[in-house]
């Protein structure tokens, strides 16, 4: 018996469509992963700016830098003229990898009053590439911000 009225796709045609969809999905994923890291770096830069502004306002009111980042949202007993909380959401921000930012007054570079650090995607001190630690004094973050503004 021969069918005269065949409708639908053959198995080969379906396989070709599936392969094409797979290739397109791969291209989208490859493009997305590169932009994902850049978006995370941009967010870190923006968070550093917000935290740095809060730190400077704290210093303006109290005459000193906070001992720990929690001092920006809760008054420490020895902070005179504290007018906080200095962060709008009354909570400490987390980096794009859901880890708390590190605040230290013992700067690794040694020449800054304080330093803000995100340990990056590996969540550990050190690292290279996308796992590189990001600080508020990173030149590549400053360069990235300039490129973004152009």
What pLDDT, in 10s, does the model give residues 4-58?
666 777 888 888 899 899 888 888 877 666 677 888 999 999 999 999 999 999 9
How far are the Cα atoms of 4, 30, 43, 93, 95 from residue 82, in angstroms, in the given order? 87, 48, 28, 20, 26
Matching residue, tokens 């065949």: 6
Coil, strand, or helix at residue 103? strand
CA dist 33 to 10, 20, 30, 38, Å?
35, 20, 6, 9
- Cα gap 110→87, rounded to integer Å: 26
**Reported pTM:** 0.69
Residue 69 in this model has a pLDDT that exceeds 60: yes
Q: What is the DSSP letter of 85?
A: -
Provide the pLDDT for residue 1.
53
CATH number attached to the domain at 41-149: 3.30.700.10
CB 102 within 8 A of CB 12: no
E strand intervals along the chain: 102-104, 115-118, 134-135
Question: Nearest 5°: phi and psi at 61?
Answer: -75, -40
- pLDDT of residue 98 exceeding 60: yes
């Amino acid at each position: 018996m021969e069918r005269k009225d065949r409708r639908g796709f053959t198995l080969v045609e379906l396989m070709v469509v599936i392969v094409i969809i797979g290739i397109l999905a791969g291209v989208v994923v490859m493009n997305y992963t590169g932009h994902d890291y850049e978006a995370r770096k941009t967010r870190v830069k923006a968070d550093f700016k917000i935290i740095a502004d809060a730190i400077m306002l704290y210093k303006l009111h109290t005459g000193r830098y906070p001992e720990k980042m929690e001092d920006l949202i809760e008054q420490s007993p020895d902070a005179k003229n504290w007018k906080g909380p200095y962060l709008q959401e009354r909570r400490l921000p987390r980096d794009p990898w859901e880890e708390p930012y590190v605040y230290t007054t013992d700067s690794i570079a040694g020449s800054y009053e304080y330093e803000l650090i995100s340990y990056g995607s590996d969540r550990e001190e050190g690292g290279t590439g996308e796992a590189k630690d990001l600080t508020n004094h990173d030149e590549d973050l400053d360069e990235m911000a300039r490129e973004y503004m152009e």
